[in-house]
Chains A and B, each alone.
Chain A
Amino acid sequence: MNKIIITVVGKDTVGIIAKVCTYLAENQVNILDISQTIVQEFFNMMMIVDMDKSLKPFETVSSDLEKLGEEIGVRIKCQREEIFTKMHRI
């Protein structure tokens, strides 16, 4: 499994999850978990995805999503899972 964490932060609008999920589906990236909250009108989403069968390499997915984020007006960041597990799990 090649787990990537995608975080989306920004002003809430219609269709943020839809756009991100559509992109992921088109590129065979499997979503394992999604959580989402809105804090003071700010949209916060975290996705755990598996890129094992992804049609594009990590760098491309990462920069594509960043661009997509700019279009919607939110910030989208892709990071490999280990930075979080190393920090928060002994």
Chain B
Amino acid sequence: MLNMFEVIETNNMIEHERLDVRTITMGISLLDCCDSDLDLLNEKIYKKITAMAKDLVSTGEAIARDFGVPIVNKRISVTPIALVGGCACKTPEDFVTIARTLDRAAKEVGVNFLGGYSALVSKGMTTADENLIRSIPQALAQTERVCSSVNVGSTKTGLNMDAVNLMGQMIKATAEATKDQDSLGCAKLVVFCNAPDDNPFMAGAFHGVTEADAIINVGVSGPGVVKVALEEARGKNFEVLCETIKKTAFKITRVGQLVAQEASRRLGIPFGIIDLSLAPTPAVGDSVAEILEEIGLERVGAPGTTAALAMLNDQVKKGGIMASSYVGGLSGAFIPVSEDQGMIDAVSMGALTLEKLEAMTCVCSVGLDMIAIPGSTAAATLAGIIADEAAIGMINQKTTAVRLIPVIGKDVGDTVEFGGLLGYAPVMPVNPYSCEKFVNRGGRIPAPVHSFKN
């Protein structure tokens, strides 16, 4: 029988340490909506999403009530729209109509984000892929809840440098198109290498073509719980430290597993995966940076940061994998700058730089995330940063991503406010030297030698 201390421990995690289930994300396949008539396609997409997800939000709320654990977000991911819209959309403008339909459907069912305005172009781009990519700036400017992602490389295929180059331009164009909102559009746009098919977290969620018709994926969270647990292990050796992180990750993940199974049962939709990521929020005490500082760094960004993060990430996985048989998505520690108060502080005082963040992405999920940079940054430089990050993913056989916000009209020293879970960020300096000749070469960077396993 349960004892009181166990019950108090769980409730303390929820009430004081910000334990929550970050998202229940319903993946919906739109492949059966394909039609060569654009109006009909839009109608089918709207009907399918609103039919499948009509009970998603209310079910999430009911589960939260039953177990007394907050479920922060209810979201939807759909099949990459470049595949769904290819038949009907002949221009970027055609694709924008689908973005508006997705936005309407998201509002109708009450989810705060819908991901999957995406193209998978790791080796090459079809005409539809390119049209979708070129429509992203307008799609994000004209919608509120749609998130977009583009996969530009993989360990198996190498890097599609034409797509990398194009994405540099599109990030810049998206920033321009949403400049009256501090270039907010870029916060909803992710460029991936090795993008997973089952990621429940935004802005990079999409419902991969290898998935079933519909699926429930759940993202757990709990940086605050890990931080508080580690306070007990101050001054102890690495073995004790690792044990503490593993046990805490186990407990957090079990809550996610319970919520996922319950959501799956109530909605009658199969359970997909649990994403083990430690996802911070701008709230104090819900920060990955604070965990690293608790481990022993004066400030995140100090020497030792990469090693500490590598250890943290690995222990979270080891604990989480024991708690759920189906772990997937991104599963690691997130290091978004604007969404993590400790990261924001470290950047503001000069402890954390873009280059250190890049090093950190070698050992954790996901990548350069939610980083505000000067609006004057050249598109080629953005492409260079994407290429660097994608190369890390390609060579290390892991997912990496770039979500940079070149804030039009702002420069180093300014601060940008995105609001809500997206937080705020100081504008960070970017290396001023050019990589234009490199990114403009065209073509592909070949797959690395260790991808040839057949």
Q: Which residues of A contact B (CB under 8 A)?
A: 5, 7, 33, 35, 37, 44, 46, 48, 58-59, 62, 77-88
Residues of B within 8 A of A7 (CB): 7-8, 11
Given A86-B255, A88-B2: A80 touches B67 (CB 8 Å cut-off): yes
Say yes or no: is B254 at the interface (Cβ < 8 Å to chain A): yes
Q: Which residues of B contact A (CB under 8 A)?
A: 1-4, 6-11, 65-69, 251, 254-255, 257-258
Please tell me which one of the listed residues B4, B66, B251 contacts residue A87 in the complex, with CB atoms under 8 A apart. Answer: B251
Given A81-B2, A86-B255, A86-B257: A46 touches B66 (CB 8 Å cut-off): no
Given contacts A7-B8, A46-B2, A84-B10, 11 further A-B contacts (CB under 8 A): A5-B2, A7-B7, A44-B4, A46-B7, A46-B8, A80-B66, A83-B68, A83-B258, A84-B2, A87-B6, A88-B6
Docked-complex contact B65 and A87, CB < 8 angstroms: no
Residues of B within 8 A of A62 (CB): 65
Per the bound structure, the CA–CA distance linking A46 and B258 in Å amounts to 22
Per the bound structure, the CA–CA distance linking A44 and B7 in Å amounts to 11
Docked-complex contact B10 and A85, CB < 8 angstroms: no
Per the bound structure, the CA–CA distance linking A44 and B9 in Å amounts to 13
Q: A20: shortest Cβ distance to chain B, in Å?
A: 15
A-B contacts, CB under 8 A, total: 56
List, sorted by A's number, 27 A–B pairs whose CB atoms are closer than 8 Å.
Answer: A5-B2, A7-B11, A33-B1, A35-B3, A37-B4, A44-B4, A46-B2, A46-B4, A46-B7, A58-B66, A59-B65, A78-B68, A79-B68, A82-B67, A83-B10, A83-B67, A83-B68, A83-B255, A84-B2, A84-B7, A84-B10, A85-B2, A86-B254, A87-B251, A87-B255, A88-B6, A88-B9
Docked-complex contact A87 and B254, CB < 8 angstroms: yes
Per the bound structure, the CA–CA distance linking A35 and B2 in Å amounts to 11
Residues of B within 8 A of A48 (CB): 1-2
Most buried by B among A46, A62, A81, A86: A86
Residues of A within 8 A of B65 (CB): 59, 62
Per the bound structure, the CA–CA distance linking A21 and B342 in Å amounts to 46
